Structure formats: C-alpha cells, structure tokens
Amino acid sequence: MTLAMPSPAETLFETLKAAFPETILQGPEDLAGRAPGEHPDNFAGGVMALPASTEEAAALIRFARENRAPVVAQGGRTGLVGGGISRAGELILSTARLNRIEAIHAEERTVTVGAGVALEALQQALHPLGLTTGIDLASRGTATIGGMVSTNAGGILAFRNGVMRHQVLGLEAVLPDGSVFSDLTRVIKVSAGPDLKHLIIGGEGAFGFVTRVVLKLETRNPERATALIGLPSAGHALRLTGALQARPALQLEGAELMWAHYFHDSAKNHGFDTGWLAPDTTAVLLTEVSGESTEQAMEALEAVLADLWEEAGITSGLVAQSLTQARKFWQLREEAGFIYREHPDAPSFDVSLPPGSLDRYVADFRARLKAANPVWDAYVYGHMADGNLHISITHVGHASETDKLAIEAAVYDGVRDLGGSFSAEHGIGTEKRHAWLTYTDPVKRNLAQAVKRALDPDGLFNRGKVPFA
C-alpha cells in the first residue's frame, strides 16, 4: 500500500487547525464545492481562515509569517483582474466575519464598518436615515467595503463624489509583520504628516489587510427620473451632462454612456425594443437625476431635454415611465454578461481618459485595433462623466501572446499622453501585470516596489501581484 504525501494545502490546513482551534477555518474539501466568485482560481489555494476580529486576523498573519505562508486577502471576490487568486500553500484570509456595521454617526454623516460589510447591506442600513454611501457599483450585493478600499473602487457616482479614496476618513489594517495600523479618524481634515492610509487604499492587499473603515456619507435622493438619450458623440453627452448638472432643481445621479454597438447587442440580449432610437446615433446616454419628487424630477428632466434637444444634438430619447422601466434601462448598462457568453475569452479593459478626449480616443483606438487585425471588434461603454471606459475585444478567439500584446497596445497607446490611466477602477491584480510594468512611470514603479520590500520583505501579502516586488 502506498501512502500519498499530504499536499501543501492539507499540511497548512492541519497546522492551522492545531494552532487556531477556535478560529473558523475551511480546507480543500470545504472550498471544493463553493462558487469561487469572478475568478476561477480564487479558491485554488484551498485553505481559508475567517477571522472575526482584528486581533484574530493579526494572530493569523503572524502565524503565516512564522510559517512563511503567503496571505491572500479576499472580500466579496467580485474583483475583475485576478487580484484575489490563491495558489497551493497560500492562506486565504476572508473578511466574511468582519461584517459588523459598528457605528452610524448620522449627524456627522460618517459610518464605521468592518471590512467584510457588503456595499448593499450598508446602503440598506443607511437608507432609513436618509443617508447613503457616496459610491455605488453594480456589484453592490457582494462587493465588500474592504475590497472596495483595496481596489480604490469607482463606480457610478465617482464623477460627483470621487472614488473610494475620497470616501475613506479612517482605516485600520494589519500590516505584513502582524502589527495593527490604526488610523480610525472620523474627520475630513487631517494635516498631520504623510497620510499613510492612502498606501493601503488602492494597494490591492499588498501593503495591509484592511479590517475596519470609516466612511463619509451622502444624502440619499430616492426621487428619481431616468432616461436613455441617443447622441452623435461622447462630446455631446458631456455637454448635456454639464447642462443637467447646472440645473439647480436637479441633482445628477448617473451618466453612463453605451456606444451603439454595445447598446444594440445589450438590448437584443435583454429583450429591449430599440425602435425608438434614431439610426444615426453614435452613443446612448443613460442618465438619472433626482429631485424633490419623482414627478418633479421627471418634469424637470423632460424640460431640460426639450430645451436642449437641438443644441445638444439629441437624436432620440426615452424617459422611463415607471421604476420597472428605469431598472430595465440600468440592466442594459450594468448586465454585460452577454459579452462573455458569446465571446468567453474576450480580453477586457478598463481605462480612463479626460472626458473631453473620449471621442478622439475611441476613434484612434478603433483605428489601431482594425490595423492590428481587421476581424477584431470592440464593445465600448462606461462611466462617461468621469471618462471611465470599459472595453471588451471580440472575435479574437483564443488569443496568442502576440495577439494579446497587439490588443493591449491598441487599447493603451496614447492613454497616458491624453492624460488618462490604463487602469481606471478595477486595479492590476494578476491580469494587468504586463500593462503595469509597461505603462507605469518607472520612478513611481520603483518607489512602490521599494515600499513593498520595506513593509513586506518576505513578499507574503498577495505574492506575485502588484507591485511585483
């Protein structure tokens, strides 16, 4: 009889169980049957610990350090760039039990939450108080505050409230040496030397395991009107959005743009009639405004559209007549899964440009793509008001390394010169490694790697991921 050697995951699991009898742990068998989230390799490491407090997380991290086991932080696992993937011998540290909304300071408009609180759960707790988070994403049901901090998430409201970095007032995180970085201030103004929490925000788990967060809050404006507006260009959409923002009776709550190819295919997949849309439309703006009441918001929106119809170059428009119809409009923009059902390997990108450069960028990018391979095509859509485009390349099939580099060049060349970023809101993870090494200023890259080596000399936190030190 031959005895199989235990795998690195089984060895780590058994050692952990002996060292942490009170901690909730999951091993290879527990994780085998669970849905891994957005990346199939999220659970590949096979061992997960679910600390219920900062102290427990710190003890686990010290254990990992002593046993030289790399640590992978995971929140809702909705990340789109493979930042949460794990490998054999690595310990997944989940924030699922750090899920307490600890204190809502309604008058101060701040909230202190555990890193594992899901965005939508927080929004639901705030809504009865007339408050909400200043940030919103389509993955709200599952994405956690800790994950959003770590990726510096953006979303629908970034044009107005900024990104996650601008929402975080205070932060607590366990550093790779097991010490606790505690900076849970509840104030906007802090001018007390370098604000090091910003290293952890957007650090994708490389510099610290986020355990608690203090967020700013915004007024909730539930009385909404929503419209789809056909336009000749992104420039027209930007001007129309500016005009809506200038109307005192309205508050702009969303300005998402779908280029015609994306819009028509999304509509087809969602069974949505596009007969109302003029054929000469380049892009469709999904806009939402709030007002004192739904009726007032709808009347004011219709009045603005009528006033600006010719000046803004509107080709056609549809104002939602019910909440159900408004939800359907949002579905066209937010549920883009049809792309990957038809093109499972479609390379996907998330770039940002100054909004005034969107038309030029999209035209140049399409020309570069067609020059590289006339068969390739692209869906383009995104958060127009802050210049964030999501791009999915179709008809590529299984891309060779040469194809991947050609596509990357078509998408990224010129982005930096126009004043944009090759990664807007999804992060770097494992999938944007080549882009980070190619398109990040070398001085900035070296600095990030030097800081990583100083804080995490053994490279334990999110090994093999940004900043690739």
Ligand X SMILES: Cc1cc2nc3c(=O)[nH]c(=O)nc-3n(C[C@H](O)[C@H](O)[C@H](O)COP(=O)(O)OP(=O)(O)OC[C@H]3O[C@@H](n4cnc5c(N)ncnc54)[C@H](O)[C@@H]3O)c2cc1C
Q: Are 456 and 448 in contact (CB under 8 A)?
A: no
**In the complex, least distance from residue 411 CB atom to ligand X, rounded to whole angstroms:** 18
Decide: 156 and 137 in contact? Cβ < 8 Å: yes
Shortest separation between residue 117's beta carbon and ligand X, angstroms: 10
Sheet strands side by side (includes 48-50) = 24-26, 48-50, 91-94, 71-74
How near is the Cβ of 87 to ligand X at its closest, in Å? 13
Using CB atoms, what's the residue nearest to ligand X?
147
- CB 308 to ligand X: min, Å: 27
Cα Rg of the chain (Å, integer)? 23
From residue 423, give the alpha-carbon distance in Å to each of 115, 149, 348, 356: 23, 16, 11, 18
Show the tokens assigned to 95: 């924030």
- Of residues 80 and 184, the one with the C-beta less far from ligand X: 80
Asked if residues 421 and 352 have their Cβ atoms less than 8 Å apart, the reply is yes
Spatial neighbors of 321 by CB under 8 A, at least 6 apart, are: none
The 10 Å Cβ neighbour count of residue 341 is 8
| Nearest of 197, 175, 179 to residue 187 by alpha carbon | 197
Cβ proximity to ligand X: between 16 and 92 the closer is 92
Q: Which residues neighbour 388 within 8 Å (Cβ) at sequence distance 6 or greater?
A: 154, 158, 350, 351, 352, 382, 424, 425
| CA dist list (Å): 235 to 19, 348, 358, 361, 384 | 60, 24, 7, 12, 10
Least distance (Å) from ligand X to the CB of residue 62? 16
Please give the Cα distance from 51 to 16 (Å, whole number).
12
Query: Which residue, 176 or 291, has its beta carbon nearer to ligand X?
Result: 176
Nearer of residues 209 and 361 to ligand X, judged by Cβ = 209
Question: Looking at beta carbons only, is 77 or 452 nearer to ligand X?
Answer: 77
User: How far apart are CB 72 and ligand X at their closest, in Å?
Assistant: 6
Instruction: Summarize as ranges the residues that interact with ligand X (CB under 6 A).
Output: 38, 72-80, 83-84, 95, 115, 137-139, 143-144, 146-148, 150-151, 153-155, 204-205, 209-210, 425-426, 429, 462
Distance CA(222)–CA(333), nearest Å, equals 20
Looking at the Cβ atoms of 101 and 249, the one nearer to ligand X is 101
Of 230 and 382, nearer to ligand X (C-beta) is 382
Cβ at position 81, least distance to ligand X in Å: 8
Closer residue to ligand X in complex, CB, 121/137: 137
Closest distance to ligand X from the beta carbon of 91 (Å): 12
